[in-house]
Amino acid sequence: MNEEILNQILTELKEVKRSMATKDELEAIRQSMATKGELEAIRQSMATKDELKGMATKDDFNAVKLAVLELSEKVNTIMENMVTKTDLKYIETKIIEHDKELFKFKDFVSLLTK
């Protein structure tokens, strides 16, 4: 009977030993697990719910894209209708020519009135 109990205990010990992890297995598990420091670094780099709420969505990007396109059209319209330096030079030249003509007429009128 004692021998039977001893055999049963030995069998159970062998079963327990088989199900236990070896040192190498435990070391592999330990190396693959994150340390407290690594977990803290991950936690700090993750966005919070509040931060996620503040981030732009695809709809936001589409709205911004639409606004940029509208502004671009307005800028193009302004650029098409805006006076250029060349236009200003031409107007300045014409004003100078007209001033000269007016001066000539004034001289002519003053000669006639004398």
Reported as a single tens digit per residue, the pLDDT across 35-53 is 888 888 888 888 887 777 7
pLDDT attached to residue 92: 95
Q: What does the mean pLDDT of the chain come to? A: 87
**Does the residue 93 lie in any domain?**
no
Dihedral Cα 49, 55, 61, 64, nearest 10 deg: 130
In whole angstroms, give the CA distance from residue 105 to residue 98.
10
- Answer whether residue 77 shows pLDDT above 80: yes
- Total structural domains within the chain: 1
Residue 29: inside a domain = yes
Residue 31 lies in a domain: yes
Q: Report yes or no on 27 lying in a domain.
A: yes
pLDDT score of 68 more than 90: yes
Summarize the confidence of residues 65-83 as an average pLDDT: 94
Residue 75, in any domain of the structure: no
- Give me the helices (H) in 55-84, please: 58-81
Whether the Cβ atoms of residue 35 and residue 43 lie closer than 8 Å to each other: no
**Residue 55 domain flag:** no
3-state secondary structure of 78: helix
Residue 17's domain comprises 1-46
- What's this model's pTM, rounded to 2 decimal places? 0.38
